[in-house]
Amino acid sequence: MEMILTQHQTQGLAMTPRMQASLRLLQMGNVDLAAHLAEEALENPCLEVRLPEAAPALPAGVAGQRRDEDWDAVAALEAAKPSLYAHAAGQIALAFPDAKARRVALAFVEALEPTGWLGTPVETVAATAGVPVPVAEAVLGRLQQVEPAGLFARSLAECLRLQAEAKGLLTWELSVILDNLSLIAEGRLDALAELCDGTPDDVRAALRTIRGLDPKPGLAFSMPQAPIRPPDLRVSRKRGAWTVELNRSTLPEVRVTDAPATGRDAAARTFVAQARSRARWLARTVARREFTLLEAATCVVRHQAAYLDHGPRRLRPLTTEDVALEMGVHASTVSRAVAHRLIETPRGTVPLRSFFSRAFAPGTGGDGPSQTALIALVAEIVAAENPARPLSDTAIAKKAEGSGVRLARRTVAKYRDMLGIPSSYDRRQPALQDA
């Protein structure tokens, strides 16, 4: 066997630690970036970080008037609604003086879902509390008497029955209907009328009573709100063109400063030199991050100006590869820059990602319609239909063709499912029940 030694050259990109850190900074949101820079400033004497100011203080008094000195700002705040679990625990403290029964009742509270229904079988709750099932059922019966009526129900029928009974509306006919709610979903009013020994009009009257009840009483209590994040960018029309700008009210400011004199201490001079180099690199990286984000957003808005002018129906096909090619960077850089970014537009604050959409027909590029635009078209067609005669998927496809777009029936069905729109049969049932 003959051994041969050869040489060849290849090109590759080596990700240095600083390049990796730069990409991490690019992907950070403004809040995370501010926290990261503040931590860096604690250890770097050459780095000065000015964090974004907090929300401006409310004007003194109502409508900017001066407040009295005895104004109690805390007392003026509206009391928040109690949570479902706090309300239930308070009711239990009043209704269950016995410690053992109270412990079982609190086990049921842990099984409550946000709707106010029980999400765990009674047998499981009984095993958790260490009591026989009949004891747990007796405690549940007492829990179902607390206000508001319908809490601790095990099903939709039981929830509605508890409310109807509390309001004095529970008749034999209504009880039969609640036991056969599946027939309502199927639109079989004649079968329900026969079970109730009545007429379809009697069933419709009972349905109007049922619609006055609350199927999810737990949602009336306060729920943890998702944090509201300020937008990273703003777009507005200036001198006839759409202009993008950074929301600098949420951006930290970075400045490189001089460190204290170190004298002849060599170790101190080395530390200061490294700190100054790190601070300068951070300042450049933050500036480059802002430039990349602004350039990417400007490019996106330039391509999607018709969307801002006319709405989702005019959203053009656009990918991160298209933007990256125009900016002269890698597509992953654009993807990191636009990830989790919010942009404030005249049409509301939306994720910057929502401006991207694949072409409906592959290979058409920016000339054909985008998938997002066609999904919006399907939503518009359904919104304009006659509720008494909802359109089938085939009819929606014909309507779309009248707008110059050819959609297959299965494509309409897919888009309808993405929008959460029921089938034409399911959309027709409320009109039949009210007829």
Buried b (16+ CB within 10 A) or exposed e, 227-243: eeeebbbbbeeeeeebe
What pLDDT does residue 223 have? 56
Spatial contact of 92 and 113, defined as CB atoms under 8 Å apart:
no
Q: Is 106 helix (H, G, I), strand (E, B) or coil?
A: helix
Q: What is the spatial distance between Cα 413 and Cα 115, in angstroms, rounded to a whole number?
A: 30
- 8 Å CB contact between 355 and 364: no
- Rounded distance, CA 225 to CA 269, Å? 50
Determine the average pLDDT of the residues in 210-229.
74
Structural domains for the chain? 84-220 (no CATH), 358-435 (1.10.10.60)
Q: Which pLDDT value is given to residue 364? A: 47
Q: Are 33 and 253 in contact (CB under 8 A)?
A: no
pLDDT(12) > 90: no
Q: pLDDT value at position 285?
A: 93
pLDDT of 225 over the 70 cut: no
243 membership: H or E segment, kind and range: strand 241-246
Residue 130 phi, psi dihedral angles, 5° rounding: 70, 40
Confidence bin at 368 (pLDDT 50/70/90): low
Residue 391, pLDDT > 90, answer no
**pLDDT, mean of residues 294-323:** 89
Residue 394 has pLDDT above 50, yes or no: yes
Residue 183, pLDDT score = 78
